[in-house]
Amino acid sequence: MSATLTESTTRPSAKDIKLIDCDIHNGLRPALNKFIPDQCRAYHERFGRRGFAGTSYPKSQPGAHRVDAWPPGGGSPGSNLPFLREQLLDAWDIDLGILNTLTPIRNQLPEYDAAFARAINDCQAAEWLDPEPRLRASLIVAFENGALAAEEIDRVAQDPRFVQILLPTFTSAPLGNRKYWPLYEAAERNNLPVGIHFGGGNGGHPITGTGWPSYYIEYHGGMAQAFQHHIISLIFEGVFDHYPNLKIVLIEGGMAWLPALSWRLDRTYEQLKDEVPHVQHPPSHYIHNHVWVTTQPMEEPEKPEHFDQFLEHFDQPDKLLFATDYPHWDFDAPDRAFPIKLSPELERKVKVENALNLYRF
């Protein structure tokens, strides 16, 4: 990477930071094209993106975008830095924001995917991180190939503005599978959290454990279940025992289901642990020590006091990370996202401190 990219970044001191947004989506086209190697582009033009999944569910809005997020000068939501600055960073006084670009990786040709991932990361650095000091980015990898992913992690991690590795929910195997372990090894080596983001991917399976659902609301609401299966897999396949410093961030998967999952896993572990002797602790131990969650889209009980009860059951105030999910339709506004008024201490943790402690800003 170029010399400018390896310079250390500057950011306001912690006490001056009032808000960190851990999930912003930017579009890279058309700038991305010039970063893609000719051979890849030619292949893409001839064969296009062939998926496994049939027609994707029509979202509630085109591209699942907020209707007001289309830049006045054209282009798709999130693709215009000045407009993103105006509508998100300036409008909400966001001091630091993490870009999770959702430009898809095909996951069919490993070398093509790797080249595409490199292009995305280089484009992010040049077109977004260089001109806007408030932004950081997740680095994109050809995640279905652990070795190629690890190579890209080692390359891009040199640039401190890349603060985590991004995976989609719909991978081709549960994320505890050993094919992903080289990726986790590289994450640990470079001290970068691994973020798993809602949707994406091209896993080649129905998106529930019981076949294809019919509606977008099942895709959107059902994302929580896909995350649950990943947590189960990461714990019981022994990823956290093997990589004790690995940090996982669940992005846009909800959070209210985590306590009940944790109770279920501890009970299950008591009964069936003889099958997984490599798992050294009760599952709740791993959830407590290795798993962070972003807040959007937040489950909202009919009675707000039930949200207080959830926070008590969850009991991990240091693991919640505020996120808006700009520019998507289910955007959480920083002043209205929570169904209850958080205590000032918790609000500060969720909106600033937890992210500062987790990410290398």
The reply to whether 214 sits near other proteins by the rule CB under 8 A is: yes
94 neighbors 21 (Cβ within 8 angstroms): yes
First to last CA, the chain: 19
The reply to whether 195 sits near other proteins by the rule CB under 8 A is: no
The single-letter DSSP state of residue 106 is: -
Q: Which of residues 12-31 bind other proteins (CB under 8 A)?
A: none
Pairing of strands 20-24, 291-294: unpaired
Nearer to other proteins, 131 or 206 (CB): 206
Burial 205-231 (b: 16+ CB within 10 A, else e): eebeeeeeeeeeeebbeebbbbbbebb
* 96 bridge partner residues: 20
The reply to whether 216 sits near other proteins by the rule CB under 8 A is: yes
Considering only residues 71, 193, 200, 297, which one is a binding residue for other proteins as defined by CB under 8 A? 297
The reply to whether 356 sits near other proteins by the rule CB under 8 A is: no
Site string for other proteins, 47-86 (x = CB under 8 A): -------------x--------------------------
The reply to whether 172 sits near other proteins by the rule CB under 8 A is: yes
Considering only residues 176, 193, 195, 327, which one is a binding residue for other proteins as defined by CB under 8 A? 176
242 neighbors 181 (Cβ within 8 angstroms): yes
The reply to whether 337 sits near other proteins by the rule CB under 8 A is: no
> Given phi > 0 = left and psi -120 to 50 = alpha, else beta, which region is 206?
beta
Nearer to other proteins, 243 or 269 (CB): 269
**Which range in 17-25, 34-42, 93-101, 197-205 contacts other proteins by CB under 8 A?**
197-205
Report residue 343 as tokens.
Answer: 């205590």
Q: How far is the CB of 233 from other proteins (least distance, A)?
A: 6
Burial 146-165 (b: 16+ CB within 10 A, else e): bebbbbbbeebbebebbbbb
Nearer to other proteins, 55 or 271 (CB): 271
The reply to whether 208 sits near other proteins by the rule CB under 8 A is: yes
176 neighbors 238 (Cβ within 8 angstroms): yes
Site string for other proteins, 226-265 (x = CB under 8 A): x-xxx-xx--xx----------------x-xx-xxx-xxx
